[in-house]
Structure 1
Amino acid sequence: MFALKYLTVAAISIASVFAASCGSSGQTSFAGANLYYAAGLSTNDQHTLFSAMQSANMKVLRVWLDGQSTATTKGTTITSFPDLEPNAIGTFDDTVLNLLDGVMVNAHSYGIKLLISMHSFNALSRPDVYGAWYGTGYFYEQTAPQQEFDNRLVHILNHVHTTVGKPWSQLPQYIFAFEAENEAMIGKGSDYITAHQQWQCDRATTIKNVLGSNSGILVVTGGESWLSESVQPDWFSCAALDVISIHAYGTGDLVQSAIAPYVQQAQSAGKKLLFEEWGACYYNTANNNCPSGTALSTSARNSNIQTWASAITAAGVPWMYWQVLPNADPHYGSDFEIGVTDPSWPTLESAAQAAGASAGAFDFSAYLL
């Protein structure tokens, strides 16, 4: 009798803690997806992708502005497009912005908003015009490149939508969030990221100064390599940052107990968390080291998808899968992708639907369609 009473009280206590961490106002979580080359999708592929995402109740698609010169990417035929600054810093080619104008209108018709990554470490290290001039060190360390990069951010925010006729900074019905850079400093190592946390806050301040404090559009980080690296302590005190984005592929980070302490930290600081990138490797290699290998059985991969999505959802954090394709996945290297016709799509679709029906630790309702 005592044991039963003790267990009952313990169960109530655990439930109360979880309810408190996930809020008491009935707020729910949500799911979304990434597709870095979405700007180049044909109209038909956009509708294929957005229709599938809508069926999964996915609310956000994360896109990049880096140029794509290959006409076939991840098995998707795309319209190639140049970098926003293809030849010189401060000299803009708005092709990618104009293409995304159409993407965001089509996405909106399916109840989906865009999260716009305004640059990436991938481009910097390629190198693009910033990487060619400053490298991956001076870019984050010197005043001149920071000012030049801020000009890029302001240019993007002030881009006037080609059909709506308003700047992107005034389009909360189409845009969920902006981030200055995907995985900023990721190639420099965790110590470097920790030492240069202010770079992220300064860029967020530039974005927020254009958006204003009540824009209806969030300012997010852009993730790093794993959970603890993605959640830097100084970002909790940065007034311009609304959301700290988590990128993680190691299985130790994809469990509720690992995520929960960061949820509590974010709530205490008045910030939100977003599990912006995660995925389940197609191969039988370590999940965070997925260049090639023997294909997992569909059932084994589906089990991984279900287990890890459920853990993130149980922690109360919304998530975005890397990546969802409008075509069958060709299983190129580093293969986390799932095409909307693939055998694992129904599992991911179900997991996303479950996220949208589950308690959330953070209230994103004002930013979703």
Structure 2
Amino acid sequence: MFFIVVCFLVFSYSAHGQPSDAYRSWSGANSFFAWALPQDDQITLINTLREKNVRVIRIFLATIDNGQAGSRAIAANDIERYRVGSPYTDSDMLTRVDQFIRNIDVYGAGRIKLIIALHDRYSLGCYAYKADSYVSKYGIPTASECSPPNDASNFYSNEQAKTDFVNRLRYLLDHVNPHFVQRWGSLNRVIFSFQIENESQGHMSTFNARWMCDINTRIRSFVNNGVLLSTGGDVDFGLSLRLENFQCSALDLISLHDYTMNEDYSRGKFQEAIRLAQQYGKRVYVEEFGGRGDAEMAQALNRIAATAHQQGLPWLVWQIVPNARSGDYEFFTKDRIAWTAFEHQAYWAQMSSSTFQWPEIWN
């Protein structure tokens, strides 16, 4: 046993005491509407995160409010806000995301990649005022401010809705970024992974257990050249750990979401996730956690992020946005308690060994 432990340490760490790139963890940040920010805010975000050796930023494709979360975001419509299917007329969003991808390449200096959620469950009528057109086409009930959340099961159970959604995903994955003259689905220079949807079927009493694997199987051939497919998480660790996702051959990565502050509970769920991932040939990372306000965000980072990389899992905090409101789930350098905790934990993430290899990050 002693010999095995020594060999692991020799091969997992470099001569400088850092983990070798073969098994090295990493940190990331959600900034779901970063592509809708003004160019100077985008550049500030990317430069700041690069300087902290942050490796991944996660964004969503969805309708964005003017001044979203108190930021300087410029309003944008989803490509299917007013109409399901081809022709997809709201191309302004794609133009702006293309530019953001270009900014990641330039200002990230090859050290930052993107996770892109190609849809958001909460666009399905949870915020009625910016629902997309699936809501009207498939008779999905709406909620005024997602409180309580609405039941969007019509979307996940209807076969025509599945076909419409797959057409959306294929259209996006085949979209050619003019700055690279390369389709999104193969743009491994900048894109780490795609997700068909953020928190699919979240906050619902009914659940179609086959939906996630079915849709990912249908689009698998459109994602290639080393770009990965991940789940997009769910509203808590338990739902993020659905066995059907681990058993799905079309999925590469399982992402975990939860806003608990209990590090012991988190540790147990991380260990469960690692066991399942090893059993079914997947990789796992923590994709959403955080706290509301400066002190609570710091607490989340010092408890949950620290527990994640201590267990060998990379993580992304929710969420880092320049010039956003204070006292909520957004933070940046002006939030000194949270930012200090973020700097500390981001440093130790990339100094920690991971249970899994991440060649797409440390290439």
TM-score where L is the length of structure 1:
0.84
The 3 A distance-change label for structure 1 pair 77 and 247 is same
Q: Given that residues 64 and 119 in structure 1 are in contact (C-alpha distance below 8 angstroms), is that contact kept between their aligned partners in structure 2?
A: yes
Kept in 2, the 8 Å contact 1:306–1:351? The answer is yes
Alignment partners' CA distance in 1, 2:121 and 2:25: 29
Cα pair 1:183 1:223 within 8 Å, conserved? yes
1:312 aligns with one of 298, 308, 313: 308
Q: Does 1:96 align with 2:93?
A: yes
Mark the CA change 1:100 to 1:239 in structure 2 (over 3 Å): closer, same or farther: same
How far the C-alpha of 1:14 sits from its partner, in A, is: 12
Tell me the CA shift for residue 197 of structure 1: 2.1
Gaps of 5+ in 1: 1-8, 283-295
CA contact 1:328–1:342 (8 Å) conserved in 2: no
What is the count of residue pairs matched by the alignment?
333
Greater mean alpha carbon deviation, residues 252-261 or residues 76-85: 252-261
Equivalent residue number for residue 5 of structure 1? none
Contact 2:27 2:349 survives alignment (8 Å): yes
Q: Note if contact 2:30-2:320 (Cα within 8 Å) is conserved in structure 1.
A: yes
What does 1:76-91 align with in structure 2 at a 5 Å threshold?
76-90=71-85, 91=87
In 1, the alpha carbon distance for the partners of 2:213 and 2:46 equals 32
Partner of 2:132: 128
Counterpart selection for 1:38 from 19, 34, 52: 34
2:248 match: 238
Shift of 1:256: 2.0
Equivalent in the alignment of 2:209: 197
Counterpart of 1:147, as a letter, is T
Helix, strand or coil: the match of 2:181?
A: coil
Q: Show the 5 A alignment for 1:39-188.
A: 39-68=35-64, 70-90=65-85, 91-92=87-88, 93-109=90-106, 110=108, 111-125=111-125, 126=127, 127-134=131-138, 135=140, 136-188=152-204
| Cα deviations by residue, 1:48-99 (Å, 9 ceiling, x for unpaired) | 101111122111111111011x321222112211111121101412211110
Distance 1:28 1:346 in 2: 22
Q: 1:96 to 1:234 in 2, by over 3 A?
A: same
Change (3 A) 1:131 1:360: same
Q: Name the counterpart of 2:345.
A: 351
Whether the 8 Å contact between 1:217 and 1:367 is mirrored in structure 2 is: no
Q: Deviations over 1:251-286 (max 9, x none)?
A: 34663233112111101211011211111232xxxx
SS of the equivalent of 2:360 reads helix
Q: Is the 8 A contact 1:113 1:368 kept in 2?
A: no
Q: Distance in 2 between matches of 1:208 and 1:307?
A: 36
- 1:147 and 1:328 map into 2 onto residues whose CA distance is 37
- The residue that corresponds to 2:147 in the other structure is none
AA of the residue aligned to 1:338: F
Deviations, residues 161-204 of structure 1 (Å, cap 9, x unaligned): 12221111121001111000101111213xx33xx221101111
Which whole-Å deviations, capped at 9, do the CAs of 1:302-341 have from their partners, x for residues lacking one? 344212211011111111110001125432xxx2222132
Residue pair 1:184, 1:222 contacting (<8 A) in 2 also:
yes
Pick aligned residue for 1:222 from 210, 232, 238? 232
Deviation at 1:106?
1.0
TM-score, with length taken from structure 2: 0.85
Give the conservation status (yes or no) of the 8 Å contact 2:266–2:304: yes
Give secondary structure in 2 for the equivalent of 1:326. coil
Could you tell me which residue of structure 2 aligns to residue 28 of structure 1? Answer: 24
Alignment of 1:364 with 2:358, yes or no, is yes
RMSD: 2.6
* Aligned counterpart for 1:257 among listed residues 241, 259, 268: 268
